[in-house]
Amino acid sequence: MDFLSDFQNDRKWCSACDGYVSYLMSIDKSFCAQCGAEVRLFSEEDWIAFSEKMEARKPGRRRKKASPQKGRRDSA
Ligand SMILES: [Zn+2]
Per residue in 6-17, pLDDT (tens digit) is 555 689 999 999
Q: By the 8 A CB rule, do 37 and 14 touch?
A: yes
User: What is the CA(24)–ligand 1 centre distance, in A?
Assistant: 11
34 part of a folded domain: yes
58 part of a folded domain: no
User: What is the CA(32)–ligand 1 centre distance, in A?
Assistant: 5
Q: For the whole model, what pTM was predicted?
A: 0.55
Choice between 42 and 73, residue whose per-residue pLDDT is larger: 42
User: What is the CA(23)–ligand 1 centre distance, in A?
Assistant: 8
53 part of a folded domain: no
Strands (DSSP E) found in 6-76: 12-14, 19-21, 23-25, 30-32
Range of the domain at 8: 2-46
Residue 59: pLDDT band (50, 70, 90) is confident
7 part of a folded domain: yes
Residue 1: pLDDT band (50, 70, 90) is very low
75 part of a folded domain: no
25 part of a folded domain: yes
52 part of a folded domain: no
User: What is the CA(22)–ligand 1 centre distance, in A?
Assistant: 9
| 11-27 mean pLDDT | 93
13 part of a folded domain: yes
Total domains present in the chain: 1
Predicted confidence (pLDDT) at residue 30 exceeds the cutoff of 70: yes
User: What is the CA(40)–ligand 1 centre distance, in A?
Assistant: 11
